[in-house]
Chain A
Amino acid sequence: MSDLDKAIAQLRACRPIPEAQVREVCHKARELLIEEANVVTVAAPVTICGDIHGQFHDLMELFRVGGDPPDTNYLFMGDFVDRGFYSLESFLLLLCLKVRYPDRMTLIRGNHESRQITTVYGFYDECLRKYGSANVWRYCCDVFDYLALGAIVLGASNTLEPTNEATTRDDVEIEVCNADGDAISHFGRRGKAGGSDQGSLNGKTGRTGPPGSGASGSSGGTVGNPAGAVLCVHGGLSPLIDTVDKIRLLDRKQEVPHEGAMCDLLWSDPDEIDGWGLSPRGAGFLFGADIVKMFNHRNDLSLIARAHQLVMEGFKEMFDASIVTVWSAPNYCYRCGNVAAVLELSEDPGGQGFFSRSNGDVGRSDGGVNRGVLLDSDDGSKRGPARRYRVFQAAPQDSRGMPAKKPVADYFL
């Protein structure tokens, strides 16, 4: 067993690894990450995860529900640290897995992967408490600076691989599964007959929009990429970024700035507004459906997957399924009572199946000039990737025999 495998085993038991080993792992991780593009290209199948926030035992539950790495190909959209009690173990485990299985693990940066934010929201204090010095925090922050800003998923299928069900239903665009893998609801594609169980996701008509409508089909797809590409980013869009290629041009290897394109990608939120709005977070922007649809069309994207916002149901599709929020920290801060979710995109059988991680998919954004008008009326029904959300709850306190400090959540008393 290699040192790295030993470290992974130790971290899986929620035990920190020695400072010297942290330093070594961080160094190796940096060497890997420095080669990755600002926007990493990832081939389906992939399981996309949102915020983790140091909830280590829930990360273990996520792996139980989503499949263990490296058997499952994972993409984590940032915010590994802060708030929970085990930021260190959670981040280091993900980082060790990244070093061990670089092509099976994709980590992109969240707004909490920053020196300034971690000093306010807990990761700094946790490192100090567990190691007696800030060295480990410094090593980790140096890694943060090299994390990619986004990812593009190519080759996703527009049909779902069956889970526990005997037959594949190729008219299903969205399937929601519980933690045991049982499908609890299906949502068919618009225009297909027999969508008897079709309803509104997350209980909100309008906001979520019927799956398969509108922008989820705005991409005609390309060879080997019939369902259109999926952009993954922690926060959202930026008024300074109109094409994915512009993200590639940023100099990302720095602390998250207070403003500018890089800041926006990590801080912005979709909202029910037209155009751009000021963010209540004091960083990034709010952006409306028109912005998302324009951006997706121009960049041949069928979907933007992002994290950053707590959603009580674990995931929330907005703007005619042109953007989805995925949230992977159940009972956030041991207080919020929410469930969590991961998003599975399966592999298109006709896809080419290989994409370079480092070079990205340069040149895919052509400004939309060859794509006809926005929201074209092409009514091909199999557009946009089929999406399976696996919804799960917080791990029981004593799950998997691991000691869990009884968390104390703050209230006003």
Chain B
Amino acid sequence: MPSHDTIIQGTDTDAAVSRMSAVDLGYLEDQYSRFFVQAPAMGAAVRRLPIINRGTYTRTTALDRLIGSFLSATDGQERQIVSLGAGTDTRAFRLFNKESQAKLIYHEVDFPTVIARKYHLVRSIPALRAVIQRPGSIDRTHTWRDEDLPDGSQYWCYGLDLRDLSKPDVTPLAGLRTDVPTLLLSECCLCYLEVTEASKVIKYFTDRISCLSSVIYEAVHPNDPFGKQMVSNLAARRIRMPTLEEYTDPSTQEARLRDAGFDSVHSLTIERIWEDWISPDEKERVDNLEGLDEVEEWSLLADHYSVSWDDVGSETDYDASFMVDSDYEPSRDSDSNGLVEQEVEEYIRASGMLKEELLDDVDDGEEKSSNADTRGPGAVFQISDFGLKAVADKTT
């Protein structure tokens, strides 16, 4: 009987096959996904059902978009992404392959066997080796890395049990910086941990990194008929998602992030993201790939997954109001505010002043009556944090 850990590792194979299916059919572009799918016994590619392909597409597109806004908000600075339970995810390769992603430190954390397998694939497959040119060797702590990627980027892979990060005597992640804007990513990973363990893993990062954002993709709505069946079917495969029982819907997912110390939190179901984030043209393109007859089943399935995040993005490359739910209230005028923040940032850079002092000044001046909370909602404010905090940390 395989252990629960082995079964959870198996979920990564499942995800890799789903990704491959979506790529094969043209939903997604990913030149690396095929290297991470073991050749099926039958020799033929596994073709997932259209609703699964659409779900894989929507999930990947949503995360790409949030990560893209983090990267553009931190453009020009050093910044890092920590991907928990990354498994066979190809995102790092896709990002490093883009010329614009300079000074990006990408960390992946997963079980030692998973990390070792990825290492051997990178060493043996030229297309992967072309991205990660000097993977070195796996060290005693099951870590391997390439610190000399072009444009000051780095790639770190840590082979460890994530739950170790929730322990007090944890060995720190060797390459993790605490002084640069960081995006913490959990794509169906923390859900397999006990609730307290999952919280402590997030706390590991919030304790160390002042300029932290997060994106969490997880199942929700376990208590309706579809959700009950999902829990029961997964249990039959001996898969349990403890956080699903705790964070049952997007609002509790938001509360979870808020409790962890994040601001301006949002959570949307995959169904909402498909409806609201995917442009009509892109919807038409995707729909035409296979046709999707199972519209009711899609609504059910897509309503049972959510993406939760705090504001990671900027309005520099696209309209942020497109990104967030309609209940999002841009209570600050984003144009003038953005300008103020920009000035503040420049001033800090010049003067080396601490950010909090300065922001207090600004808020006193600009926001006397409208907003008692100096950390008001809105993407613009948070974005500036990336720059501001990084500077602030260095000056202290």
Contacts and interface: CB of A to CB of B under 8 A. Distances in A.
Report whether chain A binds chain B. Answer: yes
Contacts of B233: 334-335, 408-409, 411
B329 interface: no
B297 A406 contact: no
Interface in A239-280: 280
Contact of B236 (A111, A336, A406): A406
Contacts of B292: 280-282
Nearest to B234: A411
B55 A120 contact: no
A337 B224 CA distance: 8
B49 A335 contact: no
Given A281-B291, A409-B233, A309 B188 contact: no
B299 to A, nearest CB: 9
B333 interface: no
B378 interface: no
B253 to A, nearest CB: 15
B59 A412 contact: yes
Nearest to A282: B291
B297 A333 contact: yes
A282 B48 CA distance: 20
B305 interface: yes
A410 interface: yes
A249 to B, nearest CB: 27
A215 interface: no
B296 interface: yes
A281 B50 CA distance: 12
A281 B293 contact: yes
A410 B48 contact: yes
A408 B55 CA distance: 17
A408 B14 CA distance: 12
A406 B297 CA distance: 21
Given A413-B15, A413-B188, A335 B239 contact: no
A213 interface: no
A137 interface: no
A283 interface: yes
- Chief secondary structure at chain A's binding surface: loop
A270 to B, nearest CB: 13
A335 B230 contact: yes
B162 to A, nearest CB: 16
B290 interface: yes
A135 interface: no
Contacts of A409: 233
Interface in B235-293: 236-237, 239, 287-288, 290-293
A331 interface: yes
A332 B297 contact: yes
A247 B59 CA distance: 43
Contacts of B59: 412
Contact of A413 (B224, B236, B239, B300): B239
A337 B226 contact: yes
B293 A121 contact: yes
A412 B49 contact: no
Contacts of A410: 18, 48-49, 52
Contacts of B300: 310, 336
B188 A412 contact: yes
Contacts of B287: 282
Contacts of A412: 15, 18, 52, 55-56, 59, 188, 219, 305
Interface string B212-238: 000000010000111111100110110
B170 interface: no
Given A121-B49, A282-B287, A335-B226, A310 B296 contact: yes
Contact of B230 (A112, A121, A408, A411): A411
A117 B227 contact: no
Nearest to A331: B229
A405 to B, nearest CB: 12
Nearest to B270: A412
Nearest to B287: A282
Given A281-B292, A410-B52, A412-B55, A337 B18 contact: no
Contacts of A280: 292, 295
A281 B295 contact: yes
Contact of A312 (B48, B225, B293): B225
A329 B233 CA distance: 17
Interface in B305-342: 305
A337 B297 contact: no
A338 interface: yes
Given A411-B234, A412-B18, A412-B305, A117 B56 contact: no
B210 interface: no
Given A280-B295, A336-B225, A406-B236, 9 more contacts: A281-B291, A309-B296, A337-B224, A337-B230, A408-B237, A410-B52, A412-B188, A413-B11, A413-B239
23 contacts: A111-B293, A112-B293, A120-B50, A120-B290, A280-B292, A282-B287, A282-B288, A310-B296, A310-B297, A312-B225, A333-B297, A334-B229, A335-B233, A335-B297, A336-B226, A337-B227, A406-B236, A408-B237, A411-B219, A411-B230, A411-B301, A412-B18, A412-B59
